Amino acid sequence: MTKFSDDELRALLADLESDLVERKRSAADRSKIRRNICAFANDLHGRGRPGVVIVGAEDDGTPAGLRVDDRLLRELADLRDDGRILPRPSLQIEKRSLDGHDLALVIVHPATQPPLRYEGRVFVKVGPTVRLASPEEEQRLAERRRSRDLPFDSRPAEGASLDDLDLDHVRSHYLPQAIAIDVLEGNRRSLPQQLRSLRLAIGDQPTHGAIIAFGKDPRAFVPGAWVQFVRFDGKAVTDPISSRHELGGRLGDIAGKLDELLSINIATATTVAGSRQELRRPDYPLEALRQLTRNALIHRSYEGTHAPVRVYWYSDRVEIQNPGGLYGQVTNANFGSGVTDYRNPLIAELMVNLGYAQRFGLGIPLALEALSANGNPPPEFRFEPTLSAVRLSPAP
C-alpha cells in the first residue's frame, strides 16, 4: 500500500509537469479519469512508481472546494471493477484532508501485465499529457511482461504454436470486442503482434488463456478445460441418469452450450392468482445459474488437473463444483461481499470481452439477488483447499 505524506501530497499538487500526477476539480468526467488510470497503470517509462489522480484540485494545484463523501469514494472504487479497463487495474482509493480541504486520491499501481486498455485503447502518459500509445510504445509495454511472474492462464502453453488457435475466429469475433473499431481499422500490426499485445501470446507461443478461449483442441494442452453436465432422475449420484453432456471446445462455446442446458432443464410452475392473473415461477432462476456457472469457469484452477467443472442436477437440488479453492484475498469470511481476486485474470478479461461477464466481482451478488427474488433458499457454499462447490435448492 502506498501512503503519501502531507508534504509529498503538496509537492504532487505543485508539480505541473509530472507524468505521475493528474489533478481533477471533480469526478464528473469519468472518461478522463479512466484514461489517466489506464496510462498510469501502463507506466510507459518503467518508473515502477504509482501514479495518482487527485480529485478536488484545480489544474494549478489549488483546492477546488470539493466535498469528498462515501458515495464519491465508492464511485471512484467502481472504476476498477466495471470492466471498461482491462485487465483490471490495481487501485487504492482514499480520502485526505490537506490544509483544511478535502481531496480524493486514486492511487494507481504499475500493471504486472501491460498493456492495459480502456475501451479497447492503450493510453500512456508523457509528461502531463495522456494520449494513445503508438504501436512501438505498445510493443515496448508488451515486452516488459515476464512469463515467470505470470499466472497460469497468462503463461505460454508448452508445445503449442499459434497454429493451434482458431485464428479466423480470433480475427473475426474477438479482436472487434477487445480493441476499439477505429483503432483496429487503422492498425498496421500483424495478427501475431496483436495477439502478443492482448496477452494471448508470448513470442510465437499462445498462452494457456488463448488456448482455453480459442484453441482448436483446448484439452490437448489444458486437460481440464471442459464441463460435465449430468441430470439425475433422483436425489443421489447412484440414481439413473436422464441426460449427460460433456461440453468442450472454445470457452465461449462452452458458456453458450451451458446456458442452453440450464435453460431447458428449468421447470416453471404456474399458479392462478385471482380470476385472470397467472403467476409463473421457475424452480431455479436462470440468471443465478448462469452467474454461478460462469463464476466457476472463471475462478477454477486449470493447472495440474484433468477435472472439469461439474454441474449435477438432482431432483431436489443443483450442485456446481469446480477445481480450486478460494484464491488470494478472498476468504470464507468475506466471500460474496464484493471482495475479489483472480486466479485467472486473463480468463476473466476474456469472459468480459466475450460478453459472458458484465463487470468484475458482480457474479455472486447477482446470483444471490436472483435467488432471493425468486423465493429460493440461500445457496450453500463449500470451500476446500482444492475444491469450490455451491448447492442450490429449488423454490418451494
Q: Delimit the CATH 3.30.950.30 region(s) of the chain.
A: 6-130
Matching CATH number, 6-130, of 3.90.550.10, 3.10.20.740, 3.40.50.150, 3.30.950.30: 3.30.950.30
Task: Note the pLDDT of residue 181.
Answer: 87
CA quadruple 82, 83, 85, 89: dihedral sign? positive
Q: What are 376-386's pLDDT values in tens digits?
A: 999 999 999 89
Q: What is the mean pLDDT of residues 235-246?
A: 97
Q: What are 42-56's pLDDT values in tens digits?
A: 999 888 899 999 999
Task: Note the pLDDT of residue 157.
Answer: 95
Q: Delimit the CATH 3.30.565.60 region(s) of the chain.
A: 227-392
Matching CATH number, 227-392, of 3.30.565.60, 3.40.50.300, 3.40.50.620, 3.90.1150.10: 3.30.565.60
Q: What is the mean pLDDT of residues 152-161?
A: 94
Q: What are 120-156's pLDDT values in tens digits?
A: 999 999 988 999 998 888 888 887 766 557 899 999 9
Q: What are 180-217's pLDDT values in tens digits?
A: 888 888 877 889 999 999 999 998 999 999 999 999 99
Q: What is the mean pLDDT of residues 219-237?
A: 97
Position 254 pLDDT exceeds 90: yes
Task: Note the pLDDT of residue 276.
Answer: 61
pLDDT band (50, 70, 90) for residue 275: low
pTM assigned to the model: 0.78
pLDDT band (50, 70, 90) for residue 360: confident
Q: Cell for 354?
A: 466475450
For 340-345, which contacts have Cβ atoms below 8 Å and span 24 or more sequence positions?
Answer: 340/81, 342/88, 342/151, 342/298, 342/299, 343/151, 343/152, 343/299, 343/300, 343/301, 344/151, 344/152, 344/153, 344/209, 344/298, 344/299, 344/300, 344/302, 345/87, 345/88, 345/113, 345/151, 345/153, 345/154
Task: Note the pLDDT of residue 146.
Answer: 60
